[in-house]
Amino acid sequence: MTDGCEFEFMEYMDEQSIDRNLICSICHKPLKDPVCTPCDHTYGRACITQWLNQSNNCSCPMCVKKPLSINELTQASRPLRNILDQLRVQCILCAQTGLQRGNFVDHINKVCPKSVVQCKAADIKCPWEGPRDELQNHNTTCIFEPLRPVLASLIAENRQLIDHVQQHDKEIKELTQKMYQLQKTATNEPNDESDASSVSDSPVDDTNHNAEDAIYIRYLPAIVKFNDIFDLFSKVGRIKYNPNNQKTEIFIFKHPNKKNGWCNAKVTYVNKESAAAAVAEYNGKHIPQWNTRLQVNIFHSKGKNLNASGIDSNRNIHDCPEAKAMENRKEFSNKDEKVSPIVYQPKPQPEDNQATAKNKKRSRPRYAPHVDKPTS
């Protein structure tokens, strides 16, 4: 039974001798569970509650013009309750008389044979309720009490499962909040030049990560953004999230003096399988939105970035015989393309020679006219 309900099962003895100041002005009987209003009037709790629940009553019975609600009622003062506790009462359930009002609650909860109680196996879901004097007979036939060890173990395990579920719900809520903050950060990301967490001009410290968990991307356009890389490379695996700075492990490397040139990027995954999948998916793949063919390799902090075949992509071309031979063939092909075909053309004669030939043609010797020599 709850506090206040116990007084419903008692009656005052010799009510005519009780002081009129201890009488409820609503029912005109001695106060059982007195409460006070803000206007300093005292009533029985059951009487004033019933009064306020009526549709036409929303004020104090004594101060009609002042509004009143049940939430504004407070317990009566200690001196008033001490005076009431000295009065003699009778239990309605068991008809016992001569009880002090101050001891009536203990009588109902511990002694009264007609008070309604629960089975002692109620903690393991026994539904029985009945008078106290019938509890002993129920205990001899209760089917829950013999099962107490098993049921108690199941109930304990159930409580542990509930605790685990609540803990997981809490973790899920925290992860959801972090994901929301991450998405918000990614949406409101500043320019690449001003975001130090995603753009860098120097190598990144990889002491806390395995080399196999990261990839290195080349031939990215200068206009590439954080969101572009995240949207593309998150399709093949889960990208690592750093809780210290609340940032995703994506870094974009740009040359400080070549703002419009190609740039590189590094993406760290949570495992090496995702990194290998990214290399297999995007290495040598043409990306239409950037109009470029990417080069994606496994990232190594010491500067060796291996491609899918295991060859160091940073190795000097002169250190690889095959690459050198290929380069030589390429240069030889370029030289062949530059050589123009030979076409025979007659060698023009100099202008002086042409003039000389013309003069020779014009200065052919002519026979002089015959002139007779005079005779002497």
pLDDT band at 36 (very low <50, low <70, confident <90, very high): very high
pTM for the structure as a whole:
0.38
**What local confidence, expressed as pLDDT, does residue 122 receive?**
86
Domain with CATH 3.30.40.10 in the chain: 10-111
Average per-residue pLDDT for the chain: 76
Q: Looking at residue 246, what is its pLDDT? A: 78
Percent of the chain with pLDDT over 70: 70
Q: Is the pLDDT of residue 3 over 80?
A: no
Residue 339 confidence (pLDDT): 45
Residue 186's pLDDT is 65
pLDDT tens profile 137-188: 998 888 888 888 887 788 888 889 999 999 999 999 888 888 877 877 766 5
Nearest-angstrom CA–CA distance, 256 and 247: 23
The whole-number pLDDT of residue 350 equals: 52
- The first and second tokens of residue 37, run together, are 């209003």
| Rounded-to-integer distance, Cα 102 and Cα 105, Å | 7
Question: What does CATH list as the number for 10-111?
Answer: 3.30.40.10
Tens of pLDDT, residue by residue over 245-277, are 778 889 988 877 777 778 899 999 988 888 999
pLDDT band of residue 371 (cuts 50, 70, 90) is very low
Contact 275, 236 (CB under 8 A): no
Class of domain 214-298: alpha beta
Alpha-carbon gap, residue 3 to 347, rounded angstroms? 130
Report the distance separating Cα 5 and Cα 116, nearest Å. 12
- CATH 3.30.70.330 domain locations along the chain: 214-298
Q: Is the pLDDT of residue 312 over 70?
A: no
